[in-house]
Amino acid sequence: MALKQHLIQKLEQKLSPQQIQLMKLLQVPTIELDQRIKQEIEQNPALEEGEEREEEDDEYDDEENDDEFDEEEEEFDLSDYLDDDAADYKTQANNQSKDEEERVIPLSGEQSFREKLMEQIQLLPLNDNQYLIADTIIGNLDESGYLNREVDALVDDLAFSVGITVSEAEIEETLALIHELDPAGVGARDLQECLVLQMKRKQDGKPHRSHALVILQKFFEEFTKKHYDKIAKKLDLTDEELKKAVDEILKLNPKPGGSTRDAAQNFQQIIPDFLLFELDGKLELTLNSRNAPDLKVSREYANMLRTYAEGAKTSKSDKEALSFVKQKLDSAKWFIDAIKQRQTTLLITMTAIMEYQRNFFLTGDETNLRPMILKDIADVVLMDISTVSRVANSKYVQTNFGIYSLKYFFSESLSTDSGEEVSTREVKKILSNAIESEDKKRPLPDEKLMELLKDKGYNIARRTVAKYREQLNIPVARLRKEL
């Protein structure tokens, strides 16, 4: 096939580097903005923290200006940044897209769950084989602290990986020692064994704890299905005695391995991006001051650019120096402009949300939330939906009634019998209140909840009620039953 040349005329729309930078900054929450600015300052010496000085303050006497620039020349030598001997390809890495987001994975300095168990193993009087068995068992525990491998599989593991031959009885014996470690319930092979191990440690002769242990050992299936009547009848317990035993079981930890992990994890710190307060019936919105840092272009770099521009530009090093300084200055100006545009976009978008949900911000009543989607706000602020989405992502507002995520105010609409459009969040609130006030001995099934909502004018199907209930993390009626 012969090669051919031909002309094609086409129109393309591409984002400029400045627009890409703004889009990335928009979705950065306040708590990460400080780190992003520090990173930019480290990478670009032409960018500094501090307020811009007035033009009058920038005028110097010729003598003072010359002396000051001489000192700057001594402190800062541009040749340190330029290396004529090094080829360009040696200082470049092209294995990452320029649009790709950088994600930092924090490293935890806490002891892991398995390390804590091995530390306890060191204190037990184990022989060499038992130590290897214990090490293998602990290495096979899942994140919740359960042993999900069969004993015969562990025998094969030890034979192939460590080269020792052990019996299933030896593994069971070592596993029993691991069951004595902290946290209680670690090394269990199922939920029932985990809870039994924990309850055995709590035995102190009190009747309700003895009853709880018997329930877990002999009536576990009935307990999980909340067939309390059958348990009370078989154990000949009163309602009060059964309630005390069940309450004791509910205090146990079904995931002993997760207890240490949850305690060691770093909890997310929330810093509100906006401050919105009601004063005398008026709403006042301000941007968190940490979203508006004082940044300026370095005076030294501006003077340096002027000096190189006025001097001779014949040599290669002079041209590279001029290009380097200009690039850094342009980058600093772009970043400062992007931060200012970020502030403006955040305020415009949040103001639109405030006006749209004014009744909620004045009262704090969740039922006053209007149905609102991203397109509603995008139409008001005359921006793209993706821009509004970036603003709402990971942003928080502090109000008189607490701190809320901006995503909290977005919800779908639902029509009532009268034809009025209401927020699905309002329906969920009514559903949640109905379940909270129900008789826990006879919790309301989804059909009853559906009828209750229909009586209030919300004509929704039973499967929709079930969907909203699941979104609220509320279990089915059978599992909500209490004594």
CATH no. for residue 458? Answer: 1.10.10.60
**107 has a pLDDT exceeding 90:** no
- At 251-264, the pLDDT tens digits run 999 988 875 444 44
pLDDT band at 352 (very low <50, low <70, confident <90, very high): very high
Return d(Cα 118, Cα 138) in angstroms, integer: 8
- At 260-277, the pLDDT tens digits run 444 444 456 788 889 999
pTM for the structure as a whole: 0.55
The answer on 118 and 250 residing in a single domain is yes
Q: Is residue 2 part of a domain?
A: no
What is the model's pLDDT at position 57? 44
Q: What's the chain's average pLDDT?
A: 79
Nearest to 215 by CA among 250, 175, 253, 259: 250
- At 376-430, the pLDDT tens digits run 999 999 998 988 988 888 889 999 888 998 988 888 777 666 666 677 777 888 8
- At 439-456, the pLDDT tens digits run 888 888 888 888 888 888
Q: Is residue 366 part of a domain?
A: yes
pLDDT band at 97 (very low <50, low <70, confident <90, very high): low
Alpha-carbon dihedral 383, 385, 386, 387, rounded to 10 degrees: 30
Q: Is residue 232 part of a domain?
A: yes
Return d(Cα 342, Cα 391) in angstroms, integer: 9
Neighbouring residues of 368: CB distance < 8 A, sequence distance ≥ 6: 357, 359, 360
The answer on 369 and 421 residing in a single domain is no
What is the model's pLDDT at position 71? 46
Q: Is residue 349 part of a domain?
A: yes
Other C-beta atoms closer than 10 Å to the C-beta of 69 total 16
- Domain end marker among 209, 229, 263: 263
What is the model's pLDDT at position 200? 93
- Domain end marker among 379, 409, 439: 409
Side-chain half-sphere of 429: how many Cα atoms within 13 Å?
12
Domain that holds residue 468: 413-480
What is the model's pLDDT at position 81? 44
Q: Considering only 98-107, 242-251, 266-275, which range has the smallest mean pLDDT?
A: 98-107
- At 463-483, the pLDDT tens digits run 888 888 888 888 888 778 776
- At 108-165, the pLDDT tens digits run 456 778 888 889 988 888 888 899 999 999 989 988 899 988 989 999 988 888 888 8
Nearest to 364 by CA among 411, 410, 398, 414: 398
**236 has a pLDDT exceeding 60:** yes
- Domain end marker among 362, 377, 409: 409
The answer on 120 and 258 residing in a single domain is yes
Do 383 and 349 form a contact (C-beta atoms < 8 A)? Answer: yes
The answer on 427 and 393 residing in a single domain is no
- At 169-208, the pLDDT tens digits run 999 999 999 999 988 999 999 999 999 999 999 999 899 9
The answer on 252 and 124 residing in a single domain is yes
The answer on 401 and 436 residing in a single domain is no
Q: How many domains does the structure of the chain reveal?
A: 3
Q: Is residue 89 part of a domain?
A: no
The answer on 422 and 328 residing in a single domain is no
The answer on 250 and 312 residing in a single domain is no
The answer on 281 and 391 residing in a single domain is yes
Return d(Cα 382, Cα 351) in angstroms, integer: 13
The answer on 250 and 358 residing in a single domain is no
What is the model's pLDDT at position 64? 43
- At 217-235, the pLDDT tens digits run 999 998 888 888 899 999 9
Q: Is residue 36 part of a domain?
A: no
Do 482 and 245 form a contact (C-beta atoms < 8 A)? Answer: no
The answer on 195 and 298 residing in a single domain is no
Q: Is residue 207 part of a domain?
A: yes
Q: Is residue 4 part of a domain?
A: no
The answer on 361 and 230 residing in a single domain is no
